[in-house]
Structure 1
Amino acid sequence: MPSCRPPFLGDLLDDRDTSNCSIARTLEVVGEKWTILILREVWYGSSRFGDFERVLGCPRNLLAARLRMLVEEGILAAETYREPGSRSRPKYVITPKGMDLVPAVMGLLQRGDRYRADPEGPAVITRHRGCGAHVDARIRCEQGHAMEAEDIESVPGPAFRMKPAD
């Protein structure tokens, strides 16, 4: 069976310094289950602490910490709202920085629908609001060419470093 592993930095693979990896840095912020699920709920229309708590079943202290971190990271913004007769409270809205995570979360949804969906099918269908067509997470180059994973070539970038010699 042929390898599905795309070309990846050739002979540099074993000796590269991964301490400045963008994937690892991003996962430090969003690489935890509750954080991704909070983002899912924001995209589905939730904006209030009570909504997240009710839908997710996340412990309050953990939910508060994740929301605070998402605001601190600029992924969500807290806006104040007040219902008549109640105190002011925050509601959470997605920022442009948060919208940049949509392709990653859509990729997780697509993968889950393909390999982990309920036997009856996906719980949620994503459609283009403009025409109703199914939304698909795809990889494209800057020129707009659709690509498969095996078409990706990873090469050293400006911050690439080798491990220090022993």
Structure 2
Amino acid sequence: MQVAQHLWFARDMEAALRFYTALIPGSALEWIAPLPAETPSGPAGSVRIAAFTLGDQRYRAVEAGPLDPFNHSFSVMVECDSQAEIDRIWEALLEGGTAEQCGWLRDRWGLCWQVAPRRLDEWLRGPDTAKARRVTEAMLGMVKLDIATLERAARGG
């Protein structure tokens, strides 16, 4: 059995997928194909489907006109090893989008992302609840996450 996330794009699916797969290392656009039959969303050929990977995650996508807009119920989290990676991914995804609190943003296609340090889970879980509280409080004061500030909070500084 395999599991893949599935995204519904109203329009511009191919541009979004090409952008995402070029931005995230280890990613690939596997294929894009039109559906040859008429669907409730349009005539034959007007609905397109795709398969792609982002890092180690499998995705499918459809471009079939408006349905439900993307929202925070589903987001893509990118875990980065360095501030330079956070900065690069954040700035690229933010172009034409909107920044939000705690490392979240909405890209130009409306998809929600969280760009975070890989160590964030380590800082937030475990028996040291005081450390988790300090890191959470520091994160709540940020838009784009800053690794050095979060590390200081984790250490108690």
**Would you call these one fold, judging by a TM-score over 0.5?**
no
Q: TM-score, normalised by structure 1?
A: 0.28
The one of the two structures with greater contact order (alpha-carbon pairs below 8 A, sep at least 6) is 1
Q: Higher Cα Rg: structure 1 or 2?
A: 1
Calculate the TM-score normalised by the size of structure 2: 0.29
Would you tell me which structure has more strand in proportion to its own residues? 2
